[in-house]
Structure 1
Amino acid sequence: MPRRLLDRTNSALERWLPEQRLFMKSDDSTRFVRLRPLTQASVLAVGAVLFGWSIVASSLLFIDNISEGSSAQQAAISQKAFEHRLDSLARERDSRASEALAAQERFQTALGQVSQMQSALLQSEEHRRELETGLKVVQQTLRRVMNERDAAKTQLAGLQQGKDGKGSPAARNVDMSETVQMLSNALGEIATERDSATQDAQDARQETEQLALQKRQLEQRNDQIFATLEDAVTISMAPFDKMFKQAGLNTDKILSEIRKGYSGTGGPLGSVSMSSKSPASLTEDDKRAASILQKLDEINMYRIAADKLPFQLPLKSQFRYSSPFGYRWGRLHAGVDMALPIGNHVYAPADGVITAAEWEHGYGQVIKIQHEFGVSTVYGHLSKIRVQKGQKVSQGDLIGDTGNTGRSTGPHLHYEIRLGGKPVDPMTFIKAAKNVF
């Protein structure tokens, strides 16, 4: 039966692979080897399999080299973009702070000018009231003098007709003429003073209107300055707030802790002075200025908190993520693995205190740092430890070198972040920091 099957197979393959004979000739004989169609097909199949396997293996090696190269390039590009973004944000933060200080100085100057204008306006108003009072007195005096003049004219007419009977008419006429002349001179002086008072009152009204216009213009300018500052502060605070929320942190609690640690006051004591302004008497500009200063203080608190939390990367060299956070073979992989050669420097991503710098089973050479707000970090498989237990470190300090110690399949850095002792995905902090740094 197998023989018949082989014959049928050879007959079927005869059409594409006819039988071949390989002759081998020597000095005294000639021999040949028969290559039947099935044998040829088997040789071709084995050759095709070997050729395909070599192509697939070469492709896999080529793709792996390309992926490693692209990962390194992407890491370099990400590092450069990170540094460029950090520099630009630092410059923008300094620029915003300078603008805020300059705007605050302009605001204080403007408030001083407004106070001077208000004082001048009050003085001009008092001067106008005094002029109006003087004008009323002049008008009353004028009416009284005019009444006296009319009475004198009546009396003079009676004397001229001889109705009085006292003294000579000529003496009385002379006396009356002198009286009338004196009254005329007084009336002239009063009229001049009245005209001058009227002109002064008109000038005071024009000056008051001019001061009111300048005050309105200054208020509009202050409103524009406040609007610009409020927009700048809001734009500056948004990335920080988003970064802390994405990292799963309580911003109110963190800012409260920062304020407790940075609330020191001091200096020699002086005499007690009370402010003349109560909260109810504060103007809208005063309230807006206080709100802007409060937000600037919150931005500064955010910046301090960012330096105390591990938002920075522990590596400055090029690397690739070789293993993520999560369960692996049924066990929790509590951090991320960053693959790179042995001997690259590892840096503290935030301020803290070294709680462990030793050999630990599984981790090999390991460093642990306790940061503030219940956050800690772990650095495993190191080749060299450059810190000691109990040592304080600042953000960016060199703490060790990458290696391949402990339970490790190759040189890399095992990086963990823990909140309250529980491991969290470090990529949460790393991705959140992209909003600011």
Structure 2
Amino acid sequence: MRARLASKINSALEKKLPERRLFLKSDTETRFVRLSPSTQAVALVGSVSVIAWTIVASSILFMDSIGSGSVRDQAKREQYLYEARLNSISADRDYRTQEALKAQDRFTAALEQISNMQSELLESEDRRLELETGVEVIQATLRTAIKERDEARAEAEALSIQMAEGKSADAPAEGNIDDIIGTVDFLTAALNGAAEERDQISKAAVTAHDTIADLEFEAELTRQRNDRIFNQLEEAVSVSLAPMDKMFRDAGLSPDRMINQIRSGYNGQGGPLTPLTLSTKGERPDADSLRANAILRSMDDINVYRIAATKAPFSLPIKSAFRFTSGFGPRWGRMHNGTDFAGAHGTPIHATGDGVVIDAGWHSGYGRLVKVQHEFGIVTYYAHMSKINVSKGQRVSRGDVIGAMGNTGRSTGTHLHYEIRVGGKPVNPMKFIKAARDVF
């Protein structure tokens, strides 16, 4: 049965592919190879298959090359825009910081001026009280002298009447009248001097009142200037603090816990951010002091956020050209715990935050792996590296080069596998990268 089928196939093929002989000649003999129709058909099909496979493979490689080039160009453009945005935000942040420092200097100078004016006001108030007390004493003396003068005049008039009526003409009476007249003259002179002194004190009191009014007006102008300064400071602090607070919340970190942890390690105080000293006499602090201390606390929060931002992995591990090849989540039926960055072999890999290297070596599927322990229970993984530049126990800063991109371990091509683990659980690294996009 099989022989008949083969015979029929050969007969059908012989019409298109007749039998051929391939002669092989040497110096001593000549041989030939018989090529049957079926053999020729197999060779032809094989040749066509090889050519077709070559064309398809070349097309796939060509399309992949074109696609990779466009993605690489797009990644370069996005990286350029990202770096330009970072530079712009950094410049704006530095400008805001400088404005805040200048405003703080103006605020400190204004507080000193207010303190001096308050001292002058208190001194003027004391002088006014002394003048008022002196005026009251002089007025009481004048009233007493006027009363005594009136009594002496009444007595002198009574004696004059008695003398005129002849009821008392002895020498002692005349001597008594002279004494009374002398007393009246003395009292009159004393009253005139007291009146002049009273007028001088009244003028001084009026001058003191005018001085106090001028000082109160200047104090009101200073208060208005301070209010404008406070408003500018509060706005600058709010503009700087809100994005950083949002960055940590978007990354899934608790700002309150983070601030407490940073302050537990940075608990020294001093310099321009020391809280203002309040009254030690049991008096309630004034509104300006409360606002100033609130601003200083907010500026201290900004410093804490700035320190925390360097210790958490908020930057990109690759600064050169790259493209994302695989994200966080299920992949091929398994969980992919990180993000893959593809690039050229040997591309530098940077630490994404301050920390300590807790592992640096070979780990089966990860290949060459570096682990960095950061604050807040965060650990970053850098896998498939071709070279490791750090050692276990070494302290690194954000941006330090810790190795080079490679293809070690279970990997299908040159790339960096980047993981972030918080409390031992893997999280999406893009949460941190996207959260910091509008801040750094």
Q: TM-score range by the shorter chain?
A: 0.7 to 0.9
Distance, in Å, in 1 between the alignment partners of 2:170 and 2:137 is 36
TM-fit CA distance, 1:357: 2.2
Matched, 1:375 2:392: no
1:12 counterpart residue number: none
Q: Which amino acid aligns with 2:252?
A: G
Matched, 1:253 2:257: yes
Distance, in Å, in 2 between the alignment partners of 1:167 and 1:80 is 123
Cα–Cα, structure 1 residues 133 and 321, in superposed 2: closer, same or farther, change >3 Å? same
1:149 counterpart residue number: 149
Q: Residue by residue, what CA displacement relative to the aligned partner does 1:195-225 show, whole Å, maximum 9, x if unpaired?
A: 1122111112222222222222222222222
Secondary structure at the residue paired with 1:406? coil
Distance, in Å, in 1 between the alignment partners of 2:61 and 2:282 is 74
Matched, 1:240 2:248: no
1:360 counterpart residue number: 363
Worse-superposed segment, 160-169 or 194-203: 160-169
Cα–Cα, structure 1 residues 183 and 63, in superposed 2: closer, same or farther, change >3 Å? farther
Distance, in Å, in 2 between the alignment partners of 1:94 and 1:136 is 62
Identify which of 298, 302, 324 aligns with 1:299: 302
Matched, 1:430 2:438: no
Cα–Cα, structure 1 residues 130 and 231, in superposed 2: closer, same or farther, change >3 Å? same
Cα–Cα, structure 1 residues 185 and 256, in superposed 2: closer, same or farther, change >3 Å? same
Distance, in Å, in 1 between the alignment partners of 2:248 and 2:278 is 38
Matched, 1:349 2:358: no
TM-fit CA distance, 1:93: 3.5
Once the two structures are superposed, the pairs formed by residues 394-409 of structure 1 within 5 Å of their partners are 394-409=397-412
Secondary structure at the residue paired with 2:365? coil
TM-fit CA distance, 1:347: 0.9
Contact 2:338 2:418 (C-alpha < 8 Å) held by counterparts? yes
Distance, in Å, in 2 between the alignment partners of 1:192 and 1:280 is 42
2:79 counterpart residue number: 79
TM-fit CA distance, 1:300: 1.1
Cα–Cα, structure 1 residues 345 and 135, in superposed 2: closer, same or farther, change >3 Å? same
Matched, 1:388 2:394: no
Identify which of 224, 227, 231 aligns with 2:228: 224
Worse-superposed segment, 80-89 or 170-179: 170-179
1:112 counterpart residue number: 112
2:326 counterpart residue number: 323
Cα–Cα, structure 1 residues 216 and 297, in superposed 2: closer, same or farther, change >3 Å? same
Q: Residue by residue, what CA displacement relative to the aligned partner does 1:115-164 show, whole Å, maximum 9, x if unpaired?
A: 33223222222222222222223223333333333344344443362544
TM-fit CA distance, 1:315: 0.8
Distance, in Å, in 2 between the alignment partners of 1:154 and 1:254 is 92
Show structure 1 runs of 5+ residues with no match: 1-53, 267-273
Contact 1:314 1:348 (C-alpha < 8 Å) held by counterparts? yes
Contact 1:242 1:435 (C-alpha < 8 Å) held by counterparts? no
Secondary structure at the residue paired with 1:315? coil
Once the two structures are superposed, the pairs formed by residues 108-257 of structure 1 within 5 Å of their partners are 108-157=108-157, 158-159=159-160, 161=164, 162-167=166-171, 178-257=182-261
Q: Which amino acid aligns with 1:321?
A: F
2:102 counterpart residue number: 102
Equivalences, count: 375
Cα–Cα, structure 1 residues 378 and 278, in superposed 2: closer, same or farther, change >3 Å? farther
1:51 counterpart residue number: none
Cα–Cα, structure 1 residues 145 and 356, in superposed 2: closer, same or farther, change >3 Å? closer
TM-fit CA distance, 1:377: 1.4
TM-fit CA distance, 1:174: 6.2
Q: Which amino acid aligns with 1:234?
A: S
Distance, in Å, in 1 between the alignment partners of 2:344 and 2:225 is 59
Once the two structures are superposed, the pairs formed by residues 5-24 of structure 1 within 5 Å of their partners are none
Contact 2:138 2:198 (C-alpha < 8 Å) held by counterparts? yes
Q: Which amino acid aligns with 1:138?
A: I
TM-fit CA distance, 1:79: 2.7
Distance, in Å, in 1 between the alignment partners of 2:65 and 2:167 is 140
2:50 counterpart residue number: none
Contact 1:240 1:435 (C-alpha < 8 Å) held by counterparts? no
1:309 counterpart residue number: 312
TM-fit CA distance, 1:230: 1.4
Cα–Cα, structure 1 residues 400 and 287, in superposed 2: closer, same or farther, change >3 Å? same
2:17 counterpart residue number: none
Cα–Cα, structure 1 residues 179 and 118, in superposed 2: closer, same or farther, change >3 Å? same
TM-fit CA distance, 1:66: 5.7
Distance, in Å, in 2 between the alignment partners of 1:278 and 1:327 is 66
Instruction: Please report the TM-score for the alignment, with normalisation by the length of structure 2.
Output: 0.76
TM-fit CA distance, 1:431: 0.7
1:289 counterpart residue number: 292
1:9 counterpart residue number: none
Contact 1:96 1:232 (C-alpha < 8 Å) held by counterparts? yes
Secondary structure at the residue paired with 1:365? strand
Secondary structure at the residue paired with 1:362? helix
Instruction: Please report the TM-score for the alignment, with normalisation by the length of structure 1.
Output: 0.77
Cα–Cα, structure 1 residues 369 and 147, in superposed 2: closer, same or farther, change >3 Å? closer
Q: Residue by residue, what CA displacement relative to the aligned partner does 1:156-193 show, whole Å, maximum 9, x if unpaired?
A: 44336254423289877766655444333323222211
Contact 2:420 2:427 (C-alpha < 8 Å) held by counterparts? yes
TM-fit CA distance, 1:395: 1.2
Distance, in Å, in 2 between the alignment partners of 1:282 and 1:316 is 51
2:414 counterpart residue number: 411
Cα–Cα, structure 1 residues 137 and 259, in superposed 2: closer, same or farther, change >3 Å? closer
Cα–Cα, structure 1 residues 388 and 183, in superposed 2: closer, same or farther, change >3 Å? closer
Q: Residue by residue, what CA displacement relative to the aligned partner does 1:229-273 show, whole Å, maximum 9, x if unpaired?
A: 11211111111111111111122222211111112579xxxxxxx
Secondary structure at the residue paired with 1:399? strand
